[in-house]
Amino acid sequence: MIDFLQIIVNGIAVGSSYALMGLAMVIIYKTSEVPNFAQGEMALISSFLTYMVLEYHGFPYYIAFPGAMIFSVILGCFLEFAILRRAKEPNILGMIIITIGIEMVLMGFVSWKFGADPKTMPFPVSPYESIMLGDVYISMLDVLTLVIALLLMGILFIFFRFAKLGVAIKATQQNEMAARLMGIRTNRILMMTWGISSLVGCIAGLLISPVTMQPYMMWDPMLKGFAAAVMGGMTSLPGAVFGAYLLGIIENLFGSYVSIEFKSVVAFVIIVLVLCIKPSGLFARHYVKKV
């Protein structure tokens, strides 16, 4: 029984990083209906920038971390403005290919600048410090990641529900033409959406970096976050978070009781099953466009 509870706790802990990546992907998909496969590498370059500032230049945490978040917002806005907006009459497939291209460029830049050797991110909370909850232990970094994931979900819910910019993003997602007629600058809204999404991804990258830091570190969390978003619904923020925690728990149960070698396959099996049974996801509303 204790082992089972420990597996569940570990699944929730790892699901928190998936939740952050899932939230970042949903934010962009809500306005553009394009899954951003560069999401992980946008977080990667922000994380390595933070590492460089902390390790090479000796900046304190309270400057390096906010600086990385500001950089991530600027990076997201720049990529949308300078690259995606310049695409001539893009379709969904073309936009996906562009995001994959951005992913490869950013990963190549990090590999060239910092090398492929694993590094250790200086972080105020050690990933090796744990607390006991009865007979179950959980690391302090996992607790921090869980708290931040839930806090961000709450902030984003309030933002999309009550903030003027959040309402404009929802209006753009529902009907871009109508939003333009109402005076909403949809191009600017889409650019800000990329900035916000990049910020959420940056936070995920900073929380993952103390555990593992190398050029491919965001590949797995990005794919698992995408799987979680598909499971919960690509237009549902609570759905992405629920899907991430459910995926983390299922993945750990599978790895513990079935096979650790095929643990990573579970996410993609879930994607196939969800798309076959409920294409819109567990929490999103399915609709059909009529022409």
Residue-wise pLDDT tens digits, 100-159: 999 999 999 999 988 888 888 888 888 788 888 777 888 888 889 889 988 988 898 888
**Residue partners of 289: CB distance under 8 A and separation at least 6:** none
Residue 281 backbone class (left: φ over 0; alpha: ψ -120 to 50; beta: rest) = left
What tokens were used for 32?
């553009």
- Residue 223 CA to residue 187 CA, distance in Å, equals 27
Domain annotation covers residue 287: no
92 in a structural domain: yes
As given in the structure block, the two tokens for residue 108 are 């190549």
pTM for the structure as a whole: 0.90
Domain-embedded: residue 135 = yes
Residue 46 forms part of a structural domain: yes
pLDDT for position 103: 92
For residue 78, the model assigns a pLDDT of 94
Q: Is residue 291 very low, low, confident or very high in pLDDT (cuts 50, 70, 90)?
A: very low
Task: Convert 181-205 to b/e letters by CB count within 10 Å (16 or more is b).
Answer: eeebebeebbbbbbbbbbbbbbbbb
| Residue type, position 66, single letter | P
The predicted structure's pLDDT at residue 286: 54
Average pLDDT of 6-15? 87
Tokens of 285: 């509303």
Amino acid 232: pLDDT: 86
By C-alpha distance, which of 201, 238, 203 is closest to 222? 201
How far apart are the C-alpha atoms of 22 and 271, rounded to whole Å? 13
Domain count, the chain: 1
pLDDT at 197: 93
Task: Give domain status of residue 59, yes or no.
Answer: yes
Task: Report the CATH number that the domain containing residue 44 is assigned in CATH.
Answer: 1.10.3470
Structural domain of 239: 2-277
pLDDT for res 45: 94
| Residue from 77, 69, 75, 71 nearest 105 by CA | 75
Q: Could you report the per-residue pLDDT of 199-227, keeping only the tens digit for each?
A: 999 999 999 998 888 988 998 889 899 98
The tokens describing 18, both together, are: 């998936």
**What single-letter amino acid sits at 40?**
G
108: left (phi over 0), alpha (psi -120 to 50) or beta: alpha
pLDDT at 56: 87
Contact assessment for residue 237 and residue 31, using Cβ atoms and an 8 Å cutoff: no
Average pLDDT over residues 38-63: 91
- Residue 290 confidence (pLDDT): 45
Contact 54, 241 (CB under 8 A): no
Could you tell me if residue 284 is inside a domain? Answer: no
- The average pLDDT across 275-290 equals 67
Q: Is the per-residue pLDDT at 10 higher than 70? A: yes
Q: Across all residues in the chain, what is the average pLDDT?
A: 86
CA distance 200 to 16: 12
| Whole-number pLDDT of residue 136 | 82
Q: What's the Cα-to-Cα distance from 11 to each of 38, 133, 196, rounded to whole Å?
A: 25, 15, 27
Indicate whether 148 belongs to any domain: yes
Q: Do the Cβ atoms of 106 and 42 come closer than 8 Å?
A: yes
* 272 inside domain: yes
What percent of the chain has pLDDT above 90? 28
Kindly report the three-state secondary structure assignment for every residue of 121-138: CCCCCCCCCEEEECCEEE
Average pLDDT for 40-67: 92
User: Does position 18 have pLDDT exceeding 70, yes or no?
Assistant: yes
